[in-house]
Structure 1
Amino acid sequence: MTRLLIAAGGGGDAITAAVVHTALHGAGTPALVLTYAWERLVVDPVPGPRRATDFTGTEAAAPDLALVTPRTAPIAPAGSLIPRLAAGLEPRLGLLDPYGGTRGLARQIRAAARWCRAGRIDLVDVGGDIAARGDEPTLRSPLGDALALAACAATGLATTVYVAGPGLDNEVPLTELLPRLGPPAFALTAPHTEGVLPVFDWHPSEASALLVAAARGVRGSCGTRDAPRPVLLDDSACQVHRLTLDAALALSPLARALAGSTSLDDAEAASREVCGFSEIERERHRAARPGPPHRPHTPHPSLASRGSRDAETVLARFTAWKRDLLADGLAYVTSRRITEDLGLSAPEARSLLGTPRAAASPRRAAPLWGLA
């Protein structure tokens, strides 16, 4: 039997699903993770999720089941890091296509369960927006999670919901989220993360990086690109909460509203009704703006120039930049915050600054960057 897991959100949840799978079933246990190819505009400039026809090289393992392999590639202008994740993660990856709404997703999940010979599903969310009411002012991306939850309910298969790293996605305030989730079921530790650690040398996921860092013992305040306020890594940040399917559905008005939906348009309409917005519509607006995607942080003045890229210049800029962040009380930053604030690509950052997991690095706090 191959274990069947579903990553409730985008690529970052697929990484978290691999970590949770290791904690639950052990490294080396065969697993399939179903995930959306629904990534930020910095990765995929086309708004909304991708479907199998947006890729070449997927493997049709069964009707309604498309597997992603390292040879899979997005068709331009779409972009995706899911094929690279397929090469970097131990579980196999399958594609979730939400364009048929909850009913279409349920067909895909049933097909995957037959292929895996699995009688149950582990649904994994990092951060906790799967438990959102829909009216939280900081909520940004509940639709994928709610669709996955509603689809699991529609399959009739036994489903357990795992919320890892509550609050790390900065969507539902931790003070509101923890009472909904109840006591943690277990905590992730460093050995659970070994298989995914190299992925963060190139993958921009922030919530999963925060979770992995917390599991590896990193504690303190971390600055992210994706939210205006820092994230505090404490002992709760590496905990995993276990919910029954019924309990998770009771927490999510959006998932209940999505029951029986047959298209992504239906799902967007339900999101507008419950949450007051559609995240896909927001992506369309952002994609239509001239210039690069919106970024909430303004680079330090000494980093504004994109002139010389030599190591001495970048290190001098990095020193000035981190001095200001330390003064603001931050101990760590994500790789995405570093690359966007310094105006570097991920390969340039690795070349000029090293990697946060390099043994000789004074900033070692893998997969985050230490500022002290």
Structure 2
Amino acid sequence: MGIARELFERSVIFGAGGGGDVVSAYVLCELLRSTYGIRECLPGAVLWERWVVDPYPGPVPRHLVRGARVGRCVYVNPGTYVLRSGRVVRPTASAVADVAGVEVPAATLEYGALGVRRCFEELAAEGWRVALVDVGGDVLARGGEEGLWSPLADSLSLAAASEVGAPLVVLAPGADGELSPDYVVSRVAEVQAVGGLYGVVGLWVDLVEVYERVLPRVASEASRVPYAALRGWVSGVAMRGGSRRAYVGPLSLVGFALSSRALAEVSPLARAVAGSRSLAEAWRALNSMGVVTELDLEVELAKLVGCGREASGEDYLRAREVARRRVSRSP
């Protein structure tokens, strides 16, 4: 129990990959309390909702956030909302704040890895540790993987976390339908080989009740996968309108606790965005490597279906293909 308390006592666990991961951050906090005796743990968020929640391209900048305390982090409460071209969007972190009865610290991405790090440092100055959770494992990507859809938020979160020495939990390999479970585990083994694996955490069936408090109030797809596994579902599940399929099975209940510094050493993507001072700088850095990001996808979706409109699975696939062609032609 000693290492778990050293890593996670009085911690804010940020969902690394975007808005939906805050659900798993909340569940992980509850697991750490019940199983490891952690007394203080808060879920944290990265304010980038997926198109199904926020059908406008790009992460949420802080100037669009309403009803929240703002410092270097944005502190989301149950009444927090976002204004997108006159449309009210409720971030997933707001629903989690309501269920958990806490303010949810959130990082915004307009200032790149530097802005995320400053949010982490603000929390550290108040006596909090910082940790990350990534559902699915795409934070482990190198950049050239065929199934990779959304590396930008993960890379920025990892780059900032590595600078402050935060641990990272990769939960439910394959749950987001991007990288396969086998590939995720192989990348975990690479981190283990350089001394970066702290251990493994597992989800128990008593967490079904925790999931059922929050899942009816949010639209996160990947965070539903561990819940489905806890309920006995063993199969694939369609995501993003059927544009990809996610693994559901025993590995969906496993989380690998890693050193973010060790992972960053073997992550070309985190190295590429390290020190970035704007989202645009980080975006260009990944595009220059030939990597298509979730921002590329959302820009093309906006062109294809229009801002504020729903997208089908076919729309996702078409937008991704257009983004791939554009990025491949970039100098």
Question: What TM-score do the two structures reach when normalised by structure 1?
Answer: 0.72
1:104 partnered with 2:115: yes
More helix by share: 2
Gaps of 5+ in 1: 299-372
1:94 partnered with 2:94: no
Deviation at 1:90, TM superposition (A): 5.1
8 Å CA contact 2:174, 2:247 repeated in 1: no
Q: Corresponding residue for 1:270? A: 285
Distance 1:242 1:254, change over 3 A: same
Q: 1:172 aligns with which of 167, 179, 184?
A: 179
Structure possessing the higher relative contact order (Cα contacts under 8 Å, 6 or more residues apart): 2
Deviation at 1:142, TM superposition (A): 0.8
SS at match of 1:98: coil
Q: 1:8 aligns with which of 13, 16, 36?
A: 16
Aligned-residue CA RMSD (Å)? 2.4
Taking the aligned partners of 2:132 and 2:139, their CA distance within structure 1 comes to 10
Distance 1:68 1:35, change over 3 A: same
Deviation at 1:150, TM superposition (A): 0.4
Name the aligned partner's letter for residue 243 of structure 1: L
Q: 1:56 aligns with which of 63, 66, 71?
A: 66
Map 1:206-225 onto structure 2 (within 5 A). 206-225=221-240
SS at match of 2:75: strand
SS at match of 1:11: coil
Distance 1:211 1:113, change over 3 A: same
**CA deviation vs aligned residue, 1:213-246 (integer Å, no higher than 9, x gap):** 2134332343334554543422111111111123
Deviation at 1:175, TM superposition (A): 2.4
1:69 partnered with 2:80: no
Taking the aligned partners of 1:122 and 1:216, their CA distance within structure 2 comes to 27
1:197 partnered with 2:212: yes
Q: Corresponding residue for 1:287? A: 302
Deviation at 1:188, TM superposition (A): 0.6
Taking the aligned partners of 1:159 and 1:210, their CA distance within structure 2 comes to 25
8 Å CA contact 1:46, 1:78 repeated in 2: no
**CA deviation vs aligned residue, 1:278-327 (integer Å, no higher than 9, x gap):** 321321221122464331279xxxxxxxxxxxxxxxxxxxxxxxxxxxxx
1:248 partnered with 2:274: no
8 Å CA contact 1:146, 1:254 repeated in 2: yes
Distance 1:287 1:31, change over 3 A: same
Deviation at 1:59, TM superposition (A): 1.7
Map 1:254-333 onto structure 2 (within 5 A). 254-290=269-305, 292-296=309-313
Map 1:23-34 onto structure 2 (within 5 A). 23-26=31-34, 29-34=39-44
Q: Corresponding residue for 2:166? A: 159
Deviation at 1:248, TM superposition (A): 1.5
Name the aligned partner's letter for residue 208 of structure 1: S
Deviation at 1:263, TM superposition (A): 0.7
8 Å CA contact 2:14, 2:133 repeated in 1: yes
Taking the aligned partners of 1:126 and 1:52, their CA distance within structure 2 comes to 24
Larger radius of gyration: 1
Distance 1:146 1:294, change over 3 A: same
Identity within the alignment, %? 30
8 Å CA contact 1:19, 1:193 repeated in 2: no
Taking the aligned partners of 2:155 and 2:240, their CA distance within structure 1 comes to 24
Taking the aligned partners of 1:232 and 1:152, their CA distance within structure 2 comes to 27
Q: Corresponding residue for 1:124? A: 133
Taking the aligned partners of 1:7 and 1:226, their CA distance within structure 2 comes to 23
Deviation at 1:189, TM superposition (A): 1.2
Question: What TM-score do the two structures reach when normalised by structure 2?
Answer: 0.80
Distance 1:37 1:246, change over 3 A: closer
Taking the aligned partners of 1:43 and 1:5, their CA distance within structure 2 comes to 22
Query: In the comparison of the two structures, how many residue pairs are matched?
Result: 292
8 Å CA contact 2:200, 2:254 repeated in 1: yes
Moved over 6 A (4+): none
Taking the aligned partners of 2:216 and 2:159, their CA distance within structure 1 comes to 34
Name the aligned partner's letter for residue 296 of structure 1: G
